[in-house]
Structure 1
């Protein structure tokens, strides 16, 4: 034994990370891989929230289409309000007055749709670095989602001080939609110091979360989750301070109302 090595010179042990609570404690390790990749493909808000502390959005983003687009009687009659040529795209909120189509969303456009087959394949492909047994279990969980398709659209305010991204994920299994909503809202409650967001009037199956307080950044953000039958909705918004969470809540309400009655929105 070397007398020069004493307990006093040993490196201090690193503090253990806090354990997740409640249901998240039981399922986070098993379900998290699918949730992470769903976020990469379809905007799962728990892990696609705006990282305003590291992102540089001081430069105006070039977007498709410009100028204000006033509401039209038929959304399909004005391409500036968004596509409406498929079952899912008709459910996306047409670009309202005071907004225009926003920036591209990741590898996709600002008004796009992904088939369930393609989304499932992308989710599985992104996990190829995982060990065989874990990958097979993860792929089985992805298959159980029974993805039917993902529609997404981004919106930027005419003042260029707010950008909103909306994704609608359609799944075959309504229970899977409900479970995903419960899992992700619990993750948001458990991690990241999120603040309570505004309530969405008339929609109890929706929750919003404000970004953690960051005093050294000029941007703020809000993420909302909701579900309706076989549809899972995520809304991610970011903008300059002072940030109007109520404006985003109004858009979320309009979007959910539009899902319920897509032919009545004007």
Structure 2
């Protein structure tokens, strides 16, 4: 991938980027019908918290009070996040450039509920009729709100992060399901731990020891967000650097100091 000049190379072949970005980010519904979660742009409204102008003595000129700047994004004390998921996504780190498109969603986007619902309905066409109602009910119970997508690349790796926002209990269940599935099937290689984030787990895709390209996926639950990171690059992958990026992403979503 590198030309040893220090410049960022051209985007990887379309087939490679598709394989990378289709690897992760599924909910149970995705596992059943082959559709990734992606959902709506959230419109955020804030209460008017402007401080009233203080009373003044006669003849004095009233100075307008400064208007507090509303926090545009963050987490509430109950773990629900607010604001644009594009703001909640990890900003482009030093040494990285925007990566390839994540399917039809581009490389820096939020996907609307209508888009996802249409895609989900299309996938249901191939599911036996007796299972369709069950899957629809499951989908409705997720209370999917939004998905943020951003991709990154440097000389050796292509990396994608998705933030899937839905019901907190289901987020937790899905993250646990992914961990159990990856650990119990014996198909995957155990990935690195993420210090300070015990809820996060990583695993590597099946590959022969001599494979020139390796792939890894990590996921974590942070309140109402299922965070999924996928990476593909020259073997061996720079696992420490990838874990560092995931840590930065999870710290950005953390609740301490969040809005009430």
What is the TM-score normalised by the length of structure 1?
Answer: 0.65
The aligned counterpart of 1:126 is 123
Gap change, CA 1:163 and 1:39, over 3 Å in 2 = farther
The aligned counterpart of 1:242 is 236
For 1:169 and 1:92, locate their aligned partners in 2 and report how far apart those are by CA, in whole Å.
Answer: 11
CA deviation digits over 1:72-124, x for unaligned, max 9?
Answer: xxxxxxxxxxxxxx521111000010101100011220101112343233223
CA deviation digits over 1:175-195, x for unaligned, max 9?
Answer: 111111111221111235211
The aligned counterpart of 1:198 is 192
Residue in structure 2 matching 1:211, options 205, 222, 236:
205
Gap change, CA 1:130 and 1:230, over 3 Å in 2 = same
Ranges in structure 2 where 5+ consecutive residues have no aligned partner: 1-26, 39-82
The aligned counterpart of 1:227 is 221
Residue in structure 2 matching 1:88, options 85, 93, 101:
85
For 1:102 and 1:217, locate their aligned partners in 2 and report how far apart those are by CA, in whole Å.
Answer: 23
For 1:216 and 1:39, locate their aligned partners in 2 and report how far apart those are by CA, in whole Å.
Answer: 32
Are residue 167 (structure 1) and residue 162 (structure 2) matched?
Answer: yes
For 1:125 and 1:192, locate their aligned partners in 2 and report how far apart those are by CA, in whole Å.
Answer: 32
For 2:127 and 2:135, locate their aligned partners in 1 and report how far apart those are by CA, in whole Å.
Answer: 9
Are residue 184 (structure 1) and residue 178 (structure 2) matched?
Answer: yes
For 1:261 and 1:101, locate their aligned partners in 2 and report how far apart those are by CA, in whole Å.
Answer: 27
Asked if the contact 2:34–2:123 (Cα under 8 Å) also holds between the matched residues in 1, the reply is: no
The aligned counterpart of 1:116 is 113
Ranges in structure 1 where 5+ consecutive residues have no aligned partner: 1-30, 43-85
As a proportion of its length, which structure holds more helix? 1
1:126 match: secondary structure: helix
Cα drift, residue 244 of structure 1: 1.1
Higher relative contact order (CA 8 A, sep 6+): 2
The aligned counterpart of 1:54 is none
For 1:181 and 1:110, locate their aligned partners in 2 and report how far apart those are by CA, in whole Å.
Answer: 24
Gap change, CA 1:133 and 1:36, over 3 Å in 2 = closer
Asked if the contact 2:190–2:202 (Cα under 8 Å) also holds between the matched residues in 1, the reply is: yes
Aligned residues: 188
Cα drift, residue 139 of structure 1: 1.2
Asked if the contact 1:195–1:212 (Cα under 8 Å) also holds between the matched residues in 2, the reply is: yes
For 1:39 and 1:240, locate their aligned partners in 2 and report how far apart those are by CA, in whole Å.
Answer: 28
The aligned counterpart of 2:74 is none
Gap change, CA 1:104 and 1:262, over 3 Å in 2 = farther
The aligned counterpart of 1:99 is 96
